[in-house]
Structure formats: C-alpha cells, structure tokens
C-alpha cells in the first residue's frame, strides 16, 4: 500500500506537458508500436539520424524523433505527456537534456530545449479525428489472423491524396503481381492530420474499387526536413513509410507518387516498389499500361491545382479521371467557394485603415447572402482577449485566439473577417494553417505607409509610443514583418475607403468566394 501511495505521489508531482503536433504524432507511433523505438532521441541519436539516416549503432532510421520543451521544463526529471485536452498518454523518464541549435537539423520548428528518454504507456489515446480507424499494428495483425489472412502477402500504400483511376489501376496491377497465382491483401495507410479528417473520407470512398481484401488504417506521419522545409526529403519520407508499413505487417510498399531512391531497398525493412505506369488512352477511351498507349493519345492528367480550381468553381471532375464515388466525396469535402468556409484576414499598421475597410468588406459579404462574423482587433481585445497585455507573447496569443475563432467559423461554412495588426509572419502562418485545415484563407495586407498612419494617429497612440509611454509599439519600437504571402496588397494612400472595399470584394468575386452579382 505504501509503495502504491508513494508512486501516486510521484506521478502527481511530475510536470504535465502537451507536446507540439509533430512530437505528439511521434509519441503515438512510439506507443502503438509503429516505431521500433522506446522513446525520444538523445542529441547523439538525432544528429546521427539527421546526418546519416542511421542511429549511432548503424541501424537505419529515417527521421529524428525529438521532444522540444519550453524553458521551464528543461530541468524536469520526468514528464507526464498528454494530448491537447490534457488526457495523460505516457510518462517520460528523462535520460538526457540537450539544446538543439539550427545546425542540429532535428526538424523542430525552432532551436530550443529537448528532452530524451524512454516513454511508458499511460492510457490509450482518445483525442483526434477518425479515432476508430487509428488502429495499432498489433490490432491490424490480429484482424488478419482472425480472418485467416496471416500468411497472405500484404501490399501497403501510404497516401494523403485521393485514389483516382490511375492510382487504382496501379494498386490493382501491383497487387496482382505480388499475389502471383494466389492472392494478396491491400493495406491503405491514410496519412491524415490528427485534429481533422483531412482527405481520409475521399480515400475511403475508393474501398469498393480495390481488390479484396483491403484494409484501411489512419495514422499521422510527422513531417521532417533538415533544411526546415515543410516535409522530409523524398527518400526519407519513403523510408519512414516503409518502416511504418512493415510494423503493420506489410510485405511490400508501393510508392504512388515517386520512384524510390537508388539503393533505397538496402535501407528498408520491406521491399519498396514504384507504381507501374498507367495512362488514359483517349483513342481507346480506357486506362491501359503506359507502354501500350501512343504518346499522342495519352491524356494529360489534371494536377492538384487544377482539381482544386475545378471543385472551387463547382464544376464536375472528368469521369475518365476519377470514379464517381471519389468525385462525390471530393465535392462534399471541397464544395464550391461560394459555399466554403472563408477567413478574410486584414493585417497592417495601426491607423492603416484596415478596420474601416474590413467593416465595409464585411457589409458587402453580408449583402451577398453569406453568413458573416466580423472579428475586429479592438473589439476582440475587449472581449475575447481581455486581460492580455501588449507584450509580444500576448499579442501573438491574441492573434492565435482570433485565428482559432475564425477557423471554427470557417469549419461550419461561415465567413470570418478579421482585422488585427498581426505584425509577425510566424503567427500569421499559424493562423493560416489553422484555417486552411477546414476552409480557405485570404490575406489582405493593408500596406499604408507608416508615416501616413502616424500622421492620421486618430487615437494618439503613435504620439504616446514616441514619448515612450507605450512600449513595444508596432512600427515604432517593435517590428512589423510585411507579408510575402498576401493574396491582395492594398495601398490606401490617396484612395477612398470605398475604392479599397471595392477592390477586396472584386478579388473575392473573381476568386469565386462571392457570387458574381454581389455588390
């Protein structure tokens, strides 16, 4: 009894920490057995993997698996790791503390403290979308054994994209080749975000069109790059997919979107094969192996941008390109822009005119018949962010709160018009990412020059900032990072508010977010 009580006291004393999305994805894959790792990597391990694609003992492994923590947890002996809602997932026994600089290339968002050590399972995860499909490798293997498929070869496909006709033909051909005179199972591992369904429903729509038996599992596979890009180098990504597929019992990995790197099979736990070439023969009006189609008869496939634009305009995808089931699910997930959730996000100096323009734009959107919410910076400050200061940390938190509310509005098909100063590029990028998981994001930079804004100074803020009465004031004692990704840049100098409002509404109409007749 005393031992149990002591243990409970120790566990209660352990700091609680919710890892960032990348580390949380790593943690789930460690705990469910998809990774052959006991926990988060030391500096030596992460550095060896980043530079050589191998652990220090020579074992091939494609990506660093590290745990960034804030300064206040850098000296922790143990941590209770939780999901974003605070439910315990595991306990980390800290074996090493280290500082990751930019040269370490561990793939985290920024340099900082890292904790390494073994993780011990606490309780099954319940947080996240499609939890019923987030089965562990052990569960999938058990299903196969119960179905009598234990000895059947398994072709794995890892995808975050829809399975159109070409991909379905490629999978069927590869499965037939793997089966030989017998049969093979297809295992589709859907790489989906943790918090949303992503395109998983579209991938699942293709299930009846795959050779039976076909199984589906959802996993969140972390992105990593030594140069800070959005995802791992192609070879590293394929290798990670091969390791995860092998854990799920696959005997071969089919790569749909690229050819495996030369010599890659020497590093993978299972063979990796490039998808066989298939093309739509416009002369025969059917899909055929690419070697059997004359080059001039091979149809050009629409790329992702063309598919997106077709859906955004409310048009049907070609029947030869994608099955009706897949097209219908895509249309549901990505409705026409006039029905799609949208966040119009204004950014600019104080006094730039963004709030006035935003109000005019909001009124124009409302008259078009769309459901609208206006989130003005000053109003949000009094309500949603009451109590926050104007420190950099609190200003970032204020913008994140606006982004969270805007994303929820967009999730349900509404339009959110936001007008904070939002001076920092990284925070604006966070908001864009939040919104684009569930809708569309349209960034408007109200690029009124600082001297014009200061000359207006309707609230007297610039004068107070010049006098030192307001610290960390954007444009005076704190920087404004001009957007490089704005969908529209407005120069309001010498222009009326009505002209600026009309320009924004015109851009939204031409982009398809407002009906053409809206004014």
Known binding-site positions for ATP: 348-355
Give, as one character, the DSSP assignment of residue 54: B
CB atoms inside a 10 Å sphere around CB 359: 16
The torsion angles phi and psi of 410, rounded to 5 degrees, stand at -65, -35
CB atoms inside a 10 Å sphere around CB 27: 23
User: 200 near 218, Cβ under 8 Å?
Assistant: yes
Rounded CA separation 339/504 (Å) = 18
Give, as one character, the DSSP assignment of residue 483: -
CA 405 from centroid of its chain's CA atoms: 18
Q: Coil, helix or strand for 31? A: helix
Q: Is the peptide bond before 129 cis (omega within 30 degrees of 0)?
A: no
Tokens 């370490």 belong to which residue?
A: 104
Binding residues: 348-355
How far from 177 is each of 1, 154, 164, 270, 278, CA to CA, in Å?
Answer: 60, 12, 20, 16, 15
Rounded CA separation 503/109 (Å) = 36
- On the 0-12 / 13-18 / 19+ scale of CB atoms within 10 A, 264 is middle
Sheet holding 252-255, edge to edge: 214-219, 185-191, 154-159, 252-255, 272-274
Indicate if the alpha-carbon torsion angle 162, 165, 168, 170 is positive or negative. Answer: negative
Rounded CA separation 70/46 (Å) = 19
Tokens 């009894």 belong to which residue?
A: 1
Largest CA distance in the chain: 84
Q: In residues, how long is the chain?
A: 519
User: 305 near 294, Cβ under 8 Å?
Assistant: no
Rg (CA), the chain: 26
Closest Cα partner for 235 from 23, 37, 52?
52
CB atoms inside a 10 Å sphere around CB 97: 18
């Amino acid at each position: 009894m005393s031992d149990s009580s002591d243990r409970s006291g120790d566990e209660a004393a352990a700091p609680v920490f919710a890892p960032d999305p990348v580390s949380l994805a790593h943690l789930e894959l460690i705990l469910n057995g998809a990774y052959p790792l006991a926990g988060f990597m030391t500096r030596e391990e992460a550095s060896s993997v980043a530079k050589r694609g191998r652990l220090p003992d020579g074992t091939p492994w494609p990506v660093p698996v590290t745990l960034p923590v804030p300064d206040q947890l850098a000296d922790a002996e143990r941590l209770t790791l939780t999901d974003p809602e605070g439910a315990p997932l595991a306990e980390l026994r800290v074996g090493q503390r280290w500082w990751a600089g930019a040269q370490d290339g561990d793939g985290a968002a920024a340099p900082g403290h890292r904790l390494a050590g073994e993780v011990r399972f606490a309780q099954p995860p319940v947080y996240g979308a499609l939890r019923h499909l987030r089965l562990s490798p052990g569960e999938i293997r058990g299903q196969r054994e119960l179905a009598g498929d234990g000895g059947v070869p398994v072709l794995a496909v890892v995808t975050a994209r829809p399975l159109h006709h070409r991909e379905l033909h490629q999978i069927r051909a590869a499965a037939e080749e793997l089966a030989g005179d017998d049969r093979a199972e297809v295992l589709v591992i859907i790489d989906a975000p943790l918090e949303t369904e992503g395109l998983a429903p579209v991938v699942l729509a293709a299930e009846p069109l795959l050779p039976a038996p076909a199984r589906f599992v959802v996993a969140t596979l972390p992105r990593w790059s030594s140069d800070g890009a959005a995802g791992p180098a192609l070879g590293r990504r394929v290798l990670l997919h091969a390791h995860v597929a092998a854990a799920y019992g696959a005997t071969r990995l089919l790569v749909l979107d690229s050819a495996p790197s030369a010599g890659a099979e020497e590093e993978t736990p299972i063979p990796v094969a490039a998808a066989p070439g298939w093309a739509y023969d416009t002369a025969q009006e059917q899909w055929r192996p690419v070697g059997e189609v004359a080059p001039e008869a091979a149809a050009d496939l629409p790329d992702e941008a063309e598919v997106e634009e077709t859906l955004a305009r409310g048009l049907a995808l070609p029947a030869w390109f994608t099955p009706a089931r897949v097209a219908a699910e895509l249309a549901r997930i990505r409705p026409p822009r006039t029905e799609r959730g949208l966040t119009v996000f204004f950014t600019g100096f104080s006094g730039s005119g963004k709030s006035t323009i935003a109000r005019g734009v909001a009124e124009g959107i409302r008259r078009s018949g769309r459901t609208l919410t206006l989130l003005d910076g000053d109003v949000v400050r009094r309500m949603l962010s009451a109590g926050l200061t104007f420190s950099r940390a609190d200003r970032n938190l204020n913008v994140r709160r606006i982004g969270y509310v805007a994303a929820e509005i967009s999730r349900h098909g509404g339009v959110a018009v936001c007008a904070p100063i939002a001076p920092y590029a990284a925070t604006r990028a966070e908001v864009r990412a939040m919104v684009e998981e569930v809708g569309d994001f349209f960034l408007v930079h109200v690029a009124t020059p600082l001297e014009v804004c200061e000359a207006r100074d309707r609230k007297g803020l610039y004068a107070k900032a010049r006098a030192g009465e307001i610290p960390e004031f954007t444009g005076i004692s704190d920087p404004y990072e001009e957007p490089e990704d704005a969908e529209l840049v407005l120069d309001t100098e010498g222009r009326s508010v009505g002209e600026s409002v009309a320009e924004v509404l015109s851009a939204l109409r031409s982009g398809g977010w407002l009906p053409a007749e809206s004014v």
